Amino acid sequence: MSELRSNFISAADTLIIRSRVATDPANPAADRFFTWEIEQKARTWGEVQKLLDGLNDDRETIAAVWRVEPDSNGIPRIEDVTEFFDVRTVDEIEEDVRHVEAIAERRYSAASHAQTGVQRSYGVRL
C-alpha cells in the first residue's frame, strides 16, 4: 500500500481508462466506449488526474479507471480506482460551482443582515 500512495502506478503496473462518448444525447444506449491502456511507467496521483483531465471534455467523459498490477505469482490483479479521481463532466463541475456560489451568497446575505441589525422575516409581510 505504501507504493500505492507514493506512485499510483508503478513501472510494473498498467493503467486502464474507460471513456464514454455520447453520440446521441436522447439515446444513452448509443454511447460509444473506448479503452485507453496507458504505457507502463511510474505515475503519481496528480499525473494520472492530468491524464484524465485531458480526456474529459463536453463530449467524452471518464467511465472508469482501473489499475492492473501483477501479484507475487505474476497474475494480474485489477483494482477499480475511479473513486480516487475527479471524473465529473464539465456540466457537473459547472453545476457544483453554481451551487457553491449560491451558498456563499446566502451566507454573505445573512451575515450582512446580522451586522446591520436588520431582522430577517420569512413569509411575513411587514
Count other C-beta atoms under 10 Å from residue 13's C-beta: 22
Q: What's the pLDDT tens digit per position in 51-78? A: 888 887 767 788 899 988 888 898 889 9
Instruction: Say what the pTM is.
Output: 0.60
Q: What is the pLDDT of residue 35?
A: 87
> Averaged over 10-26, what is the pLDDT?
81
Q: What is the pLDDT of residue 1?
A: 42
DSSP 79-95: EE-GGGS----HHHHHH
Q: What's the pLDDT tens digit per position in 30-50? A: 788 888 887 777 788 888 888
